[in-house]
Structure 1
């Protein structure tokens, strides 16, 4: 291995240790014994900062146009909040969604495969409450796959009648009023299913060129940081909206994403294509990382970060078990209009929360700027 490769190898190992990981003699990663959300956010910080640097010119241009869609605390009157669900279609909606998504601790991703994006706006003042994005589900997802015994040869067909929640959450000050609970309820609404049906009826899959039913029967997701306070015990009356599936196995690539451009350069220099296009999703990135680690004589176990995330299933039909296991071909959809879910959120979470806390009232949208616009002197998050 030449000097340049050795330097890259040392850089990767040193950076992982600086993040807080330890690496044993067999090359296995170990997260701190007591993980906390601050540690997990720090893991994502380098990749998030890279994304913000990539978007800086665009953010500087767009922020003045979208800033007014983010509420001041004084503009939010809990009793008058009137949420509306809007599918992202127009340019201003796309820009607002993208800016809001860049506020997340997790790095920005456009998603892959079939995609739906939504804004939840407050009609009482024209401000953004939160965002929701769905994407094609992973074909292999052990936490989900342990739940069902798919009929032989039908797993791909059935899994592709579900979607994965890629982004879900509220922005301040609504996040401080448990607006995230509202966005999670919205994911299970009739309106989301109908948007899927409109967009994907009579569409074929890209890989197998198969015509799939336009049924959306379930959603899956994982918590961003360990155990989820957002999805746990999420119900509409006595109906579970998010059912816990256990925890992921602690494999993934998020902690190595900051090295992804270096991995691609390494492989391209050796004549191995990493070009984009269809298929450049998580699986393609994973394969790129596996190949690059092998060429650096680094163990594949570096992809096992050991940080387990809680997984959840959102059933959208009452007979999901029978449907996914092939005992019926007719989905029995739950009837959950968005307005009904809004009323439940208002009574169950919003108004009690507004009575207990008042910090949201002093929130200023100016507090968002340092999270988006990097310090011009250092090029880092302010």
Structure 2
């Protein structure tokens, strides 16, 4: 593909996604609705699924049994258990389930922890939780604290960013996402982090970070969040809205990322990652490509402001992050008690109001993840 053809393709894809491109080659701030945003993400998601077809055809039949039919769920008997992803079976199940999300998956960066929530009543998967190292610069978070001089990195690295959080069908229709969000703040997640990173030496700077996990941050997938809003436990606010992102990002150009890399490599510009490249590598590659194509990097300003949430895992968060307290005072949020709260507050009332979840069949997952030409051969 020529330089001119790639530049034209960029503008065409943006217009197809519902963005308005000005005569100066810039994006007007977007006011896309949630369904429009799903449509923007869909090409990159479908590309990810297409690239995994061989793997899915081999492993999906094995793991499909871990997903529930609606008639296999009795709401009163749902018995969630939190499982840290450590075994290959866990990784494979996580990998398949994550493809059911509306947005593409990234392996993450830095410190990473993943969890499955399983229903012990039927051994079926309820939902997923994945954490990764937080961005060092995050305005909505950084406005909350006055970090000690020279210690911002140390303090921020005692938090994590929620990369994936949600429930799979049909538990999502029973507000299983609320359960996963509560689980993120549980003692068990914090303790798993402690055991995993106690004494661990960082790969880049070769230093030992404190294994405290004092807070989580996350952003809503599609603007304002209904999952995290009013999420509380016995009067304790679990997720607090702390503002919105600034509307910059590269998700709307993710489908073209392989072409950007190929274009730069053909021009003799390395796009390889490695230590020090960090989570902004894709951003940097896209910026380089846009500029060499004669397009404005203002195309990265999509105008979609995502709501930012903070999960406090300690009661003295401000004092600890600012160095006024030397030890965190952890909240006591056992997973079992959070489950009991979710069951009475959300699960049972929801199960009594809606019925669509009963008709769900796990075979639908094959329809979602296997391409038409593959289904024809089954």
Using the size of structure 1 for normalisation, the TM-score is 0.96
Gaps of 5+ in 2: none
CA distance in 2, matches of 1:377, 1:48: 18
**Partners of 1:106 and 1:144 in 2: how far apart?**
23
Which residue number corresponds to residue 7 of structure 1?
5
Match of 1:70 among 52, 67, 71: 67
Aligned length: 376
Match of 2:186 among 160, 185, 189: 189
Pairing 1:100-115 to 2, within 5 Å after superposition: 100-115=97-112
RMSD: 1.5
| Corresponding residue for residue 42 of structure 2 | 45
How far 1:225 sits from its partner (Å)? 0.5
- Determine whether 1:22 maps to 2:20: yes
**In structure 2, C-alpha distance between the alignment counterparts of 1:119 and 1:368, rounded to whole Å:** 18
1:57 counterpart residue number: 54
Q: 2: distance between equivalents of 1:51 and 1:333?
A: 39
Greater mean deviation of Cα atoms: 93-102 or 278-287? 278-287
Q: 2:289 aligns with which of 286, 289, 292?
A: 292
Query: Which deviations, in whole Å up to 9, do the C-alpha atoms of 1:125-180 show, x marking residues without a partner?
Result: 00000000000000011111111111111110000000000000000111000000
- Shift of residue 192, structure 1, vs aligned partner: 0.4
Runs of 4+ in 1 over 2 A off after TM superposition: 25-28, 30-33, 204-210, 276-282
Cα pair 1:133 1:168 within 8 Å, conserved: yes
Q: Provide closer, same or farther for how the CA distance between residues 269 and 216 of structure 1 changes in structure 2, counting only shifts above 3 A.
A: same
Cα distance between partner residues in 1 of 2:30 and 2:106: 27
Cα deviation for residue 367 of structure 1 reads: 1.4
Gapped runs of 5+ residues in structure 1? none
Contact 1:221 1:311 in 2 (8 A): yes
Q: Which whole-Å CA distance do the structure 1 matches of 2:150 and 2:183 have between them?
A: 33
Mapping for residues 123-142 of structure 1, pairs under 5 Å: 123-142=120-139
Report the more deviating stretch, 255-264 or 18-27.
18-27
| 1:235 alignment partner in structure 2 | 232
The secondary structure found in structure 2 opposite 1:26 is coil
Q: What SS does structure 1 have at the residue aligned with 2:107?
A: coil
Cα distance in 2 for partners of 1:375, 1:108 equals 22
The superposition leaves residues 228-271 of structure 1 with CA deviations (integer Å, 9 ceiling, x where unpaired) of 00000100111010010111000011111111111111111122
TM-score by length of structure 2 reads 0.97
Q: Secondary structure at the match of 2:372?
A: coil
Are 1:189 and 1:337, in contact at CA under 8 Å, matched by a contact in 2? yes
SS in 2 for 1:86: strand
Structure 2 residue 49 is matched with structure 1 residue 90: no
Structure 1 residue 259 corresponds to structure 2 residue 260: no
SS of corresponding position for 1:209:
coil
Structure 1 Cα separation of the partners of residues 264 and 297 of structure 2: 16
On the 8 A contact 2:185/2:333 being kept in 1, the answer is: yes
1:340 alignment counterpart: 337
Correspondence for 1:166: 163
CA displacement at 1:50 relative to structure 2: 0.8
- The corresponding residue for 1:316 is 313
Distance 2:59 2:274 in 1: 27
